[in-house]
Amino acid sequence: MRLAPFELSQPETVDEVVAALAEADGDACLIAGGTALVPMLRLGLLRPGRVIALHRARDLDRLEARGAALHIGAMATLAAVHRSSVIWSGWPMLAAAAGKVATPAIRSTATIGGNLGYAEAASDLAPALLCLDAEVEVAGPAGQRRLPLSEFFTGFYETALGPGELVTAVGAPAGPPGARGGYIKFCPRSAEDKPLVGVAAMLALDGEGRCRHVRIGLGAAAPTAIRAARAEAGLGGQVLDDAAIQAAADTAAAEADPISDLMGSRDYRRAMVRVWVRRLLSSLRADPDVDRR
Amino acid sequence: MSAAIEFTLNGRPCRADAPGHWTILDLLRDGLALLGTKDGCGEGVCGACTVLLDGEPVRACLVLAAQLAGRTLLTIEGVGADAPDPLQDAFAALGAVQCGFCTPGMILAARALLAANPAPDEHEVREALAGNLCRCTGYVKIIEAVMVTAGEIARCASPRSS
């Protein structure tokens, strides 16, 4: 079945994209990889008069270290993120999470900007990026701005993007020295599915074995990807023993606010947050680098 | 409104007209009458329309035809045109084909895997083909055919020992 007809624009700079969005005045969709947008067009959930393709816009797929920080252009594919030696060297949990999304034929096409702009609560990237204190770079009619990823997701498939704005890049600072981290996803059906729950965590241990810089990110555990802030605060300063891990898992499950859908009920998701937070923190205790084989 | 798109299709230069809302799958099947790429779910889930764009597997139903400009596309019509590809031989010999609807996508997904990783273990084969659905075979013979092909590649590449 064909997509309903639309006019296609293929601007070559970010400024041209912003101008095209302004001209369309709300009757346009952006297409990056298309892995999320095309199914929505085919199902008739969106019926734009114009689609603005980003694949020709220059510099949007740049992926590099800028000083100690990471810069990933919005059009970088998940395959590129997963292959990047720069990302593996400083932000391995992000490289690993990108390799766990869907299938090779989706990762070759789907982009990091599209993944975040779609604001799927079960995103594999968002929990990892939340743990990495990522920021989103946005361009629009009023120029450029940056905001923390934690402020970017505002609701179920909703973001802080204003009219005529687009995500142009994702940035992340270097993690603290000696940080350990990882991302795990629970897929009860098959490997290429989105997660029933996804859990990312990062922490550093001080000289006395106490947790510092604790980050716990949850996917599919609320209407958006979230940080488990109370669990993080509770674990800070604690020795990473069984009791501290269980308490963090219990707290994370309590602050989760999951939806029910065909994959699982709200109660089941909450129970699985408890299980998978405990499992990830336990693996981080045993192996500081769970994502490297 | 149609636009001319120039790209390389199965090793040859190709110039084709496609409306902006056409996907690669629309262009292949309706524009170019290349019917080997199958139209399954239309949502990127079933894998029947898998083709290789610049060597990487993509879903032809999810990518706009306009994104082909200047790039290289391989479809099943470009695989084994002169003599069967080792993957095609192995699929036939081992009975990894039943109704055949998933086969073009399976062959191309497996080809991309073996290009990137010539010696995959069974788990890696299963993960690489996880997004290609087959409703006939139960996958056992498909996985076996890819493993056998990888073994053939290894035998051809390594020096003979006596």
Architecture of domain A7-53 in this structure: 2-Layer Sandwich (3.30)
What residues of chain A lie within 8 A of the CB of B66, using their CB?
A: 8, 10, 53
Pick the CATH number of B86-157 from 3.40.50.300, 3.40.50.720, 1.10.150.120, 1.20.1440.230: 1.10.150.120
Q: Do B58 and A102 touch (CB under 8 A)?
A: no
Architecture of domain B2-78 in this structure: Roll (3.10)
Every domain range in chain B assigned CATH 3.10.20.30: 2-78
Pick the CATH number of A181-286 from 1.20.1260.10, 1.10.4160.10, 3.40.50.720, 3.30.390.50: 3.30.390.50
> Looking at chain A, which residue has its C-alpha nearest residue B50?
A105
Statement: residue A290 has pLDDT above 70: no
Every domain range in chain A assigned CATH 3.30.465.10: 63-172
For the residues A152-171, what does the mean pLDDT come to?
Answer: 97
Burial (Cβ within 10 Å: 0-12, 13-18, ≥19) of residue A176: exposed
For the residues A238-251, what does the mean pLDDT come to?
Answer: 97
- For the entire predicted model, the pTM comes to 0.95
Q: Do A42 and B127 touch (CB under 8 A)?
A: no
Six token digits for residue B41: 């779910």
Query: Mean pLDDT for chain A?
Result: 96
> Looking at chain A, which residue has its C-alpha nearest residue B48?
A105
Percent of chain A surpassing pLDDT 70: 98
State whether residue A130 is helix, strand or coil: helix
Please report the DSSP string for B112-147 in residue order: HHHHH-SS--HHHHHHHTTTS--SSS-SHHHHHHHH
**How high is the pLDDT of residue B162?**
41
Q: Rounded to an integer, what distance in angstroms lies between the CA atom of residue B143 and that of residue B129?
A: 9
Architecture of domain A63-172 in this structure: 2-Layer Sandwich (3.30)
**How high is the pLDDT of residue A11?**
98
Statement: residue A289 has pLDDT above 80: no
Q: Do B43 and A42 touch (CB under 8 A)?
A: yes
Q: How confident is the model at residue B1 (pLDDT cuts 50, 70, 90)?
A: low
Residues B126-155 pLDDT 10s = 999 999 999 999 999 999 999 999 998 888
Statement: residue A93 has pLDDT above 90: yes
> Looking at chain A, which residue has its C-alpha nearest residue B112?
A104
Residues A168-220 pLDDT 10s = 999 999 999 889 999 999 999 888 899 999 999 999 999 999 999 999 999 99
**How high is the pLDDT of residue B157?**
80
This model of the complex carries an ipTM of 0.93
Query: Mean pLDDT for chain B?
Result: 95
How many Cβ atoms from other residues are within 10 Å of residue A203's Cβ? 27
What residues of chain A lie within 8 A of the CB of B20, using their CB?
A: 5-8, 51
Give the closest-approach CA distance of A113 to chain B in angstroms.
16
